[in-house]
Amino acid sequence: MGKRKGGSKPPPKKPRAKLDTLFSCPFCNSSKSVSVNFDRDMGRATAKCSQCSQKYESRCTPLTDAVDVYHDWLDSCEEANK
């Protein structure tokens, strides 16, 4: 005898929420002007504002995302202000 099929199909998967890739600049406060570029071969990430040309470089790993680099930049700005 054959195996019975299940009652119904499983519910469709929910789409994942996408993380931002453009951020506001902590120096000039222009929105969506900071973009993050990765050089994974060198292990380096650069966040740069297109309005005021401020930039921040940090180390990155294969798991590092643009949000992580941006928040590292904000944390270093807060440390400098103390």
HEC profile for the chain?
CCCCCCCCCCCCCCCCCCCCCEECCCCCCCCCCEEEEEECCCCEEEEEECCCCCEEEEECCCCCCHHHHHHHHHHHHHHHHC
Q: What is the pLDDT of residues 20-57, one digit of tens each?
A: 889 999 999 999 999 999 999 999 999 999 999 999 99
Predicted TM-score of the model (pTM): 0.77
The answer to whether residue 16 is domain-embedded is: no
Owner of token pair 């998967």:
13
The answer to whether residue 10 is domain-embedded is: no
Containing structural domain, residue 35: 22-81
Mean pLDDT value across the chain: 90
The answer to whether residue 65 is domain-embedded is: yes
The answer to whether residues 49 and 4 touch, using CB atoms and an 8 Å cutoff, is no
Q: What pLDDT was estimated at residue 18? A: 86
Domain CATH code at residue 46: 2.20.25.190
Total number of domains in the chain: 1
Q: What pLDDT was estimated at residue 80? A: 92
